[in-house]
Amino acid sequence: MGVDRSVAVVGGGVIGLSCAWALADAGRRVTLVDPDPGRGASWVAGGMLAPVTESWPGEEDALELGTAALAAWPDFAARLTPVGGDPGLRLDGTLAVAVDSADVGTQDLLAGHLAALGREVRRLTARELRAIEPGLGRGVRSGLHVPGDLAVDNRALLASLHNACRRSGVRFVTTAARSVRGGAVDLADESTVECSVVVIAAGARSGRLHPRMSLVRPVKGEILRLRSRPGALPVPTRTIRAHVESRPVYLVPRTTGELVLGATQLDVGFDETVTAGGVRDLLRDAEQVLPGIAEYELVETAAGLRAGSPDNLPLIGWIEPGVLAASGHHRNGLLLAPITAAAVVSLVTGSEVADVVRAADPARFPEVPR
Ligand SMILES: Cc1cc2nc3c(=O)[nH]c(=O)nc-3n(C[C@H](O)[C@H](O)[C@H](O)COP(=O)(O)OP(=O)(O)OC[C@H]3O[C@@H](n4cnc5c(N)ncnc54)[C@H](O)[C@@H]3O)c2cc1C
């Protein structure tokens, strides 16, 4: 009898699809279990690939992991394009801007922290910022240019991964999983998918599938999609991140003329309602950064659930023989998709996992029930 090379991936967001594609490419027989693949938080996300502007003192492991993931992105996109279609990687970089004096203070802190780590950031005056993005509001006082922080069109990426999975022979089962154990996924319709390894990649809902994943919690985020109209200012050329009265807001342009504007961050359980207050706050803060958006069409409001973990690092590794975690990516699942998929392939095939991924080993939480 030959070696059992079957793998079931539970969850078809950006993480599950990336893992499924990479595993199929590595010669595994892959079944992807998801009642609604390509949705979840991945469908809602802003699309920033931004380890530097996401970083914060005390989160150095996340910066290291994110930096390694970002370095993998150009190759990931280049391999994906011929098999799945263009995932919409944008190389234009990011501006981080501050509006009031407290926001300038926050930015000074970030700039000092990044400089101490030897990261490439350039301080810009308000005048220099406006020379790069003429649409910036009068209230913008200073900023940072972070050329290395990129962006991707999350929906183009999901479509591309879906195509790549199909072309690589991934089998899709569109029934929800009820629970996971070594060598099997039990489905809501009482059937079972048997396999040698299960990968749990169900995002914020991963905690419902296995007791070891119970520390993954949902963190709600609301986001808006706007579109420039004839006569209005065009969308900016690069991602703009801001602090407005201490509230973070970001504006991520798409080549389609859309501008994705996000995001709130709330611990409210599995609630995915878009609230009037969330929309108001985002529009008010974004308008201070880019007043021209008042003329744009509001095309979509959405909310998604990030998969939070206690230390904001993902959970990538074995949680019991035959069960791998690939979840808890919180604010950075798009960024971390290539490195997560590569790590999952290494773990399944028994090869060396990149050093930088070891910080994400679920074994760092030994107190969680088995
Ligand atoms: C508003 C917002 C903005 C964000 N912006 C960014 C950003 O700019 N950059 C970035 O890198 N990240 C961003 N994120 C985070 C990013 O979206 C997530 O980290 C990423 O999408 C996680 O992907 P995932 O595949 O783990 O989960 P998801 O995309 O949530 O996918 C989980 C999948 O699991 C499936 N599933 C759930 N339960 C079951 C079950 N029982 N059985 C089978 N399948 C199941 C769901 O149907 C879903 O398809 C943002 C998130 C939000 C909410």
Give residue-wise pLDDT tens across range 106-145: 888 888 888 888 887 889 999 999 999 999 999 999 999 9
Which protein residue's CA is at the shortest distance from atom 35 of ligand 1? Answer: 11
Mutate which of 14, 94, 224, 261 for ligand 1? The one with the most ligand atoms within 8 Å of its CB, which is 14
- Neighbour count for residue 338 (Cβ, 10 Å): 25
Claim to verify: residue 303 and residue 241 sit in the same structural domain: yes
Position 64 in a domain: no
Position 22 in a domain: yes
Give residue-wise pLDDT tens across range 310-365: 999 999 999 999 999 999 999 999 999 999 999 999 999 999 999 999 999 999 99
Position 79 in a domain: no
Q: Is the pLDDT of residue 204 over 60?
A: yes
- Domain end position, chosen among 262, 284, 308: 308
Range(s) of the domain holding residue 162: 6-47+155-216+310-364
Buried b / exposed e along 205-223 (16+ C-beta atoms within 10 A): bbbbbbebbebbbbbbbbb
Q: How far is the CA of 306 from the centre of ligand 1 (A)?
A: 6
Nearest-atom index, ligand 1, CA of 307: 19
Give the pLDDT band of residue 370 (cuts 50, 70, 90).
low
Position 78 in a domain: no
- Domain end position, chosen among 268, 292, 308: 308
- Distance, in Å, from the CA atom of 256 to the CA atom of 331, rounded to the nearest integer, reads 24
Claim to verify: residue 258 and residue 239 sit in the same structural domain: yes
84 lines ligand 1 (CB under 6 A): no
Position 62 in a domain: no
Position 249 in a domain: yes
Domains of the chain: total: 2
Mutate which of 329, 330, 339, 344 for ligand 1? The one with the most ligand atoms within 8 Å of its CB, which is 329
Position 60 in a domain: no
Cis previous bond, 68, omega within 30? no
Claim to verify: residue 229 and residue 295 sit in the same structural domain: yes
Q: Is the pLDDT of residue 60 over 70?
A: yes
Q: How far is the CA of 45 from the centre of ligand 1 (A)?
A: 8
Claim to verify: residue 205 and residue 167 sit in the same structural domain: yes
Q: Which two tokens stand for residue 360?
A: 């994400």
Claim to verify: residue 294 and residue 258 sit in the same structural domain: yes
